[in-house]
Structures are given as structure tokens and as C-alpha cells.
Structure 1
């Protein structure tokens, strides 16, 4: 029995760099034997089913596959449907509310939220909030003060290269698509 997954690719089709068509991306997954392959948005979200390795092994296998096909290193964070559901369920109660701009920073195995939180720079009180979750960090900023955020300090740190960011809306939509089959 195969398990539904989402692969979250970092840094493709952003700012005119690492341009990869979604049809080509889906074909790459199909050619490698993954089932039920589809993409969502242009930012590198691939839904698929696999009966192979999970966690770090799956991430590594997909990274090697993409590197061979597209000749560019692409960081991959993979989550099973159940792992993504656990991440969504553990979000702070107001995460995704209309008054906030909310994102999920998905962490590549073996990075943990505790490790990142230990390195976090000072964020702007009353504007930014960050909370740890399973394999992720929940970041929000008050929408009316979004330009005052200090999250760029985290984004400048080396540890940020082991993360990929999705909006709350995209994160919840990916779970809906996995549930819809």
C-alpha cells in the first residue's frame, strides 16, 4: 500500500531562478515510479504516492532524482499526509487568522524546531511571533505592521538553507489536496 506525500521544493521558480515547469517536474516523479503525481502552484509542491523510504531517505532520493534530471541542486522537504496533518493541527490557535500573515517554515530532516529556536535572532515584539511545531516553525506577523518584521534576520542565517517556507493557506490547501486523493 502506498502512502501519500508532498514534496516541498526550495527555491525553484523564485526570482527567475531555477526555472522548472510543473509538467516536467511531474514527469520526473512519474518516470521515477511515483504514483498519483500532481503539482500545486508554481513554487514546487508535488503531491505523490510512494511505498518507498520515508523521511530523510525519501528526501535524499528525491533530491538525487531532481539533481540528475534538472542539473541543479534542489532542497526537498517531504512530509507524509499524516505528518502534514500533524503539523497543521499543532499550529497556534490564531495562526492563519485574518489579522496575521502566517507561514509555515518546514524543516529538512534531521533539523529540529528546538535547534532553530535556540539560534533565533530577536524578533520584533508585538509584530512577529514564532512557535515550534513538529518538523516546522509557525511564523506570523501582524498584517498591519508586516513591513516592520525582523524575520529577514532568520532568513540570513545558514540554518535557513535547511528550510522551505509555505504560506498557511498553501499548507492547508496541500493537506486538502492530499485528503481528496
Structure 2
């Protein structure tokens, strides 16, 4: 059995794809996942499952959610260990909170092509920064995420892969809620 974190993309945003977290937890439990919990309304689900292949697991969840909810939802799966690596490998270890710098992480469904990375590089600006490492886009936002050019939709369009974005605090909270500790796992 393995511990996973499913991050659903685009639910409960601007009145679209509304699903209560109690209902989402019930749906995951109906798929025979154990120890299911959710965190905030943006679709973060922590659970235990027997499937060890994250792609198979993701496809199963996407299929079942579509069957039950009648709309498509992109799902990104990571383990607590993978989220811990994201935190440890950040190129933005320190931020200037007094200057309103904020960290966000965009989780990608697959590694983007070199051509797609070049498209994103062409959009670099002097306000916000990003760094792509494998399946992760690290964002350093200097004003407001809502005003940043590097929105989730923009990154998906430039890279040509499904993605979902979380703020730094949420990523760390998900690790904590998954009860991950490198010394005990």
C-alpha cells in the first residue's frame, strides 16, 4: 500500500465544476482507497491505495470522477516523498516577504518537450520568475498571483501538458497532512 496526494485541477473556481469536499472524499472511498482526507476546497485528496503505478491510478480516478460527476477533471498524482523533494529542491529557498514575494508550484502531468520549454522561456519577464525541473514548475511571484503572466492556464498552454498550481503553504500543508517524515518512511 502506498500513500498518495491527488491534486484536482480547476474545481470550485469561479462557480465551475463545483464539488463539496465531503462528496469528493466519499468518491475516493468508493474507489476502495483508504485513509482518505481532503484539504481546502481546491481539490487536494490524501489517500492510501494498493496501485503502485501513478499513471494507472490517475487514469482510474479521472474515469471514476467523470462517471460520477459528469465533467472532466485533470488529476495530478504525487507521493508525499515527491512533494518533499519539490520543497527541498526549490530554487527559491528564500523570499522577500516584506516585498510581497510569494512561491507557487505548478505540477505537470508529464515532462514538457524542449520546444514547449522554449515557448515558455520566450515569455520570461522582469517581474516574475520560474524554473522548470522535470515535472515541476517553480514560480516566484513578486506582485500578485492573480496578476502574474504565469497563471496555470498560461503554463499549460505554453507547455502543452495538463497542470495544476498550488501555493507554497498548501504544498507544505499537504506534506504535513500526509504524515510524511523522511526518517520514518
Is the structural similarity TM-score above 0.5? Answer: yes
Whole-Å separation in 1 of the counterparts to 2:156 and 2:137: 16
Please state how far the C-alpha of 1:19 moved relative to its aligned partner.
0.3
Deviations 1:17-75, CA, capped at 9 Å, x for gaps = 00001000000000110010000000000000111142221111110111111111000
Change (3 A) 1:96 1:173: farther
Unaligned 5+ segments in structure 1 are none
Change (3 A) 1:112 1:157: closer
- The question of whether the paired residues in 1 share the 8 Å contact of 2:76 and 2:164 is answered with yes
Whole-Å separation in 2 of the counterparts to 1:5 and 1:97: 32
SS in structure 1 of the partner of residue 71 of structure 2: coil
Change (3 A) 1:115 1:107: farther
Paired residues in the alignment total: 177
SS in structure 2 of the partner of residue 69 of structure 1: helix
1:142 counterpart residue number: 142
Asked if 1:171 is matched to 2:179, the reply is: no
Change (3 A) 1:147 1:13: closer
The TM-score with structure 2 as length reference comes to 0.84
Please state how far the C-alpha of 1:154 moved relative to its aligned partner.
2.7
Whole-Å separation in 1 of the counterparts to 2:89 and 2:115: 18
The TM-score with structure 1 as length reference comes to 0.86
Change (3 A) 1:37 1:94: same
SS in structure 2 of the partner of residue 82 of structure 1: helix
Please state how far the C-alpha of 1:87 moved relative to its aligned partner.
1.4
1:65 counterpart residue number: 64
Unaligned 5+ segments in structure 2 are none
